[in-house]
């Protein structure tokens, strides 16, 4: 059973998973890197969720699909997805999400809901440009930028206001 066959999958989720997997396959083919069944399953698990998943949650999905039984399999698959820009590691949660903008080079920012743990991705180019300029003036070279903001998502805010 694949994630898209799960009984609680909505048509929108199924479409997001299929579109994401197709984009990943094309990207991997273009880069001439292998999109193995374990990597595909890990990405499928991430694409099927709005919350970030920990490595062991991804491993559970991989076990269900019969493509990985040991933690190193999940970590290798997740490391590959992050290296290829197909997923991001959310430091604050020690978990992973599928990249929403894998077709373009970008600097992501993440909005993490304190109530439901939903993670939304948005490009953060202006703030990164400002940060790079400040670093240059200080003689500092940035090798990695991660922007994570915690708050309340629109759905949780509406529910709280109701």
Burial of 147 (0-12, 13-18, 19+ CB in 10 A): middle
139-161: pLDDT as tens digits: 998 887 778 899 999 999 999 99
Considering the domain architecture, whether residues 71 and 125 belong to the same structural domain is answered as no
The size of the chain, in residues, is 162
- 149: domain range? 106-162
The tens digit of pLDDT for each residue in 71-129 reads 999 999 999 999 999 999 998 899 999 998 766 666 788 999 999 989 998 877 767 78
What is the CATH number for 78? 1.10.10.10
Strand partners, 111: 120, 149
Record the pTM: 0.82
For residues 75 and 135, membership in a common domain is answered with no
CATH of the domain at 129: 3.30.1490.190
Domain count, the chain: 2
Question: What CA–CA distance (Å, rounded) separates 23 from 117?
Answer: 26
């Amino acid at each position: 059973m694949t994630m898209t066959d799960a009984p609680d999958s909505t048509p929108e989720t199924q479409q997001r998973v299929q579109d994401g997997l197709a984009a990943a396959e094309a990207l991997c083919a273009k880069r001439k890197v292998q999109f193995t069944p374990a990597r595909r399953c890990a990405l499928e698990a991430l694409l099927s969720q709005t919350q970030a998943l920990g490595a062991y949650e991804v491993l559970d999905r991989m076990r269900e699909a019969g493509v990985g039984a040991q933690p190193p399999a999940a970590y290798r698959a997740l490391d590959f997805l992050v290296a290829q820009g197909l997923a991001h590691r959310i430091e604050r949660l020690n978990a992973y999400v599928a990249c929403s903008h894998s077709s373009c080079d970008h600097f992501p920012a993440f909005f993490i809901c304190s109530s439901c743990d939903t993670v939304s991705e948005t490009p953060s180019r202006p703030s990164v440009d400002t940060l790079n300029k400040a670093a240059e003036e200080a003689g500092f070279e940035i090798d990695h930028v991660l922007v994570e903001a915690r708050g309340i998502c629109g759905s949780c805010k509406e529910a709280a206001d109701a």
